[in-house]
Structure 1
Amino acid sequence: MMKTFLVTGGAGFIGSAVVRELIDNSEHRVVNVDKLTYAGNLESLANVEGNARYHFVQADIGDARAMQRAFEEFQPDVVMHLAAESHVDRSIDGPAEFIQTNVVGTTVLLEAARLYWLQLKESDPQKAEGFRFHHISTDEVYGDLEGTDDLFTETTPYAPSSPYSASKASSDHLVRAWHRTYGLPSLITNCSNNYGPYHFPEKLIPLMILNALAGKPMPVYGDGQQVRDWLYVEDHARALITVATQGQTGETYNIGGHNEKTNLEVVETLCDLLDDRVGTSHLTSADSHRDLITFVADRPGHDVRYAIDASRIERELGWTPAETFETGLAKTVDWYLTNREWWQRVQDGSYRGERLGVLT
Structure 2
Amino acid sequence: MSTHLLRALQNAHAFDSTPPEAQLASLHVPFDFLTGSRAYEDTLARAVRRGERIALIGASGSGKTSITEHVLGGFVHDVAPIRVRVDMMTPSVSTHPPDFAKHVVHTVRKYIDDHHARPDRRKASKTDDTAHGIADKRPVKVTVGAGLPWLKGDLAVELGGVVHTRAVSGEDIVEQAQLILQIIAARGVTPVLVLPDTDHWIRRAGLDPEPLIAGFFGSTLRMIAERLSTAAVIAVHETYLPDPAYREASGFLESRITLPEIPSPDAIGAILRHRARATDDDTHRRTGDLVDPDALERLFAHYQASNRNLRKVIQTAHGALAHACDEPAAAIGRRHVELALTE
Bucket of the pairwise TM-score, normalised by the shorter protein: under 0.3
Normalized per residue, which structure has more strand? 1
Larger radius of gyration: 2
Structure with greater contact order relative to length (CA < 8 Å, sep ≥ 6): 2
